[in-house]
Amino acid sequence: MAEAVKAAGRQFAEAGLEAPERSAQILICGLLDIGLTELVLDAGNALDVETQSRVASAVARAVNGEPVHRILGRREFYGLELQLNEETLEPRPDTEILVDAALPHVTAIAARQGGCDILDLGTGTGAIALAILSHVKQARALGVDISEKAVLAATQNARRHGLGERFRATTGDWFDNISDRFDVIVSNPPYIRRSDIDGLSDAVRRHDPVRALDGGQDGLDAYRIIARETDKHLRQGGRIVLETGFDQHDAVIALFDKHGLECLERRRDLGGRDRVLAFARKAL
Ligand code: GLN
């Protein structure tokens, strides 16, 4: 087993992939459905022929630039293993900051009211909503996504984690099919400038769905819609927490300000770049 990981790591290094050894471990542990501890304990075990061939074809896909979590079809986010499909963005560690920023609001509202209704716009795998629900037992969430396949992935992910009773997903274009109001709205909308998409890494450009990335000419299309519609969908005392591109904080704050929403908090990501904003209605 250790041999297989080493060999894969060497191939990844030769192909110029990032973190080749770590990627080889993730890929092979994932394929065998074992943890790192088992990998170490079983290091000397040989792989059977069928497993060898599964490993070989997965390694070939990775060498060809496909991200290891795409190959496995799943990725961990905020301690939850989530299934991906071709219409869901692969959840990113930086998006966990959005969950960190939303949780205190959800917890406070749930403590005050005995419940908290959350709307996750562009839910994808359901990552953000499900992470929040797994930490706040009285919260419920609705996930909206324009992709039916994403809605399916999010629904299945909720069931797998025992959150199916408190999570529902539906197809829709942002707020188009939504008439309710919510205590907390969260979203990681597409925010890449259209002209920047060609310059993204191969892994993102070729394997993440472009609809989850393309934020229009200036990257702000989704924020314009969300800023305009939020007032109609946010309850009294509600909060909206959003991921943004690293250079978009000021522009997004200005957009929301025009619609009566004030920025309460700005957070940076793991690399120290601007990434998350939280808003509330301005006091009258
Ligand atoms: N963070 C993603 C990336 O640059 C973009 C996600 C998004 O547009 N919401 O890879």
Instruction: Please compute the mean of the pLDDT values over residues 108-133 and round it to a whole number.
Output: 98
User: What percent of the chain is predicted at pLDDT more than 70?
Assistant: 100
DSSP 106-141: HHHHHHHHS-EEEEEET-TTSHHHHHHHHH-TTEEE
Instruction: Please compute the mean of the pLDDT values over residues 136-142 and round it to a whole number.
Output: 98
Six-digit token string for 59 = 């390694």
Atom of ligand 1 nearest to the CA of 190: 8
Instruction: Please compute the mean of the pLDDT values over residues 160-165 and round it to a whole number.
Output: 98
Query: What are 89-113's pLDDT values in tens digits?
Result: 999 999 999 999 999 999 999 999 9
121 vs 41, higher pLDDT: 121
Candidate of 75, 97, 213 to mutate for ligand 1, largest count of ligand atoms within 8 Å of Cβ: 213
Q: Is the pLDDT of residue 74 over 80?
A: yes
Q: What is the mean pLDDT of the chain?
A: 97
Least confident span in 33-42, 142-151, 190-199: 33-42
Q: Is the pLDDT of residue 43 over 90?
A: no
Q: Would the CA dihedral through 150, 125, 250, 184 be positive or negative?
A: positive
Burial 100-132 (b: 16+ CB within 10 A, else e): ebbbebbbebbeeeeebbbbbbbbbbbbbbbbb
Six-digit token string for 250 = 């000021």
The residues spanned by each domain of the chain are 2-72, 93-281
Least confident span in 35-39, 190-194, 264-268, 273-277: 35-39
Q: What does the pLDDT read at residue 283?
A: 87
Give the separation between CA 240 and CA 261, rounded to whole angstroms.
9
Ligand 1 lined by 210 (C-beta under 6 Å) = no
Instruction: Please compute the mean of the pLDDT values over residues 190-199 and round it to a whole number.
Output: 98
Give the separation between CA 249 and CA 265, rounded to whole angstroms.
11
Is the fold of 2-72 the same as that of 93-281? Answer: no
Q: How confident is the model at residue 61 (pLDDT cuts 50, 70, 90)?
A: very high
Six-digit token string for 130 = 């499900």
Instruction: Please compute the mean of the pLDDT values over residues 181-190 and round it to a whole number.
Output: 98
Q: Is the pLDDT of residue 228 over 90?
A: yes
What is 93-281's CATH topology? Rossmann fold (3.40.50)
User: What percent of the chain is predicted at pLDDT more than 90?
Assistant: 95
Domain 2-72: give its CATH code: 1.10.8.10
Candidate of 70, 92, 206, 221 to mutate for ligand 1, largest count of ligand atoms within 8 Å of Cβ: 92
Short-list 261, 205, 248, CA closest to 90: 205
- What's the gap in Å between 159 CA and the centre of ligand 1? 26
Q: How confident is the model at residue 225 (pLDDT cuts 50, 70, 90)?
A: very high
Q: What does the pLDDT read at residue 284?
A: 74
Q: What does the pLDDT read at residue 72?
A: 98
Give the separation between CA 259 and CA 25, rounded to whole angstroms.
48
Ligand 1 lined by 7 (C-beta under 6 Å) = no
Instruction: Please compute the mean of the pLDDT values over residues 68-72 and round it to a whole number.
Output: 97
